């Protein structure tokens, strides 16, 4: 059976990206993104909102680009696959994180511009979109 899923998030970066390298010297960059959805409550008319935090992980060339250009407070769009990582925190309470493994980043706050694929090819659009066409992360 063949399956496919893809998630698109648009939100604000919550912190400075962290770049590291695997033992095979593959770059990995992670940062958090807050996605806030707002609506008007039908019964009270009150404006409500809900924020969901995602940990975004980029690999290879896209990781290096994210480390260079993603800044705290930037508005970005990230496209990729989402997994739920569950663990027990220090108080032995169950916690779950949403982790989006990005294969594309688009900068909605302005610079940088152009699209860069994981093989280093460049092609343009004015929003600053970066694509990882060769996503194949190694095991950690």
- Whether the upstream peptide bond of residue 112 has omega within 30° of 0, thus cis, is yes
The model carries a pTM of 0.76
Once rounded to an integer, what is the mean pLDDT over residues 49-68?
94
| DSSP string across 9-76 | EEEEE-S--EEEE-TT--EEEEEEEEEEEEEE-TTT--EEEEEEEEEEEEEHHHHHHHHHH--TT-EE
Once rounded to an integer, what is the mean pLDDT over residues 52-81?
94
CATH number 2.40.50.140 is the correct assignment for the domain at 7-39+49-105? yes
- Report d(CA 69, CA 121) in Å as an integer: 17
Instruction: Grade residue 3 by pLDDT with cuts at 50, 70 and 90.
Output: confident
Note the pLDDT tens digit of each residue in 71-129: 999 999 999 999 998 888 888 888 888 999 999 999 887 655 544 444 444 444 434 55
Closest CA to 124 of 111, 133, 139: 111
Instruction: Grade residue 21 by pLDDT with cuts at 50, 70 and 90.
Output: very high
pLDDT for the residue numbered 1: 79
């Amino acid at each position: 059976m063949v399956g496919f899923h893809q998630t698109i998030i648009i939100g604000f970066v919550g912190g400075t990206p962290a770049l590291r390298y695997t033992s095979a010297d593959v770059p990995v960059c992670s940062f958090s993104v807050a996605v806030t959805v707002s609506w008007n409550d039908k019964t009270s008319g009150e404006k409500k909102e809900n924020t969901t935090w995602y940990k975004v992980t980029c690999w290879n060339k896209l990781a290096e680009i994210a480390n260079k250009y993603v800044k705290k407070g930037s508005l970005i769009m990230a496209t990729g696959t989402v997994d739920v990582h569950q663990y027990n925190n220090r108080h032995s309470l169950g916690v779950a994180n949403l982790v989006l493994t990005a294969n594309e980043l688009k900068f909605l706050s302005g610079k940088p511009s152009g699209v860069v694929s994981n093989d280093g090819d460049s092609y343009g659009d004015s929003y600053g979109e970066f694509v990882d066409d060769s996503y194949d992360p190694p095991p950690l």
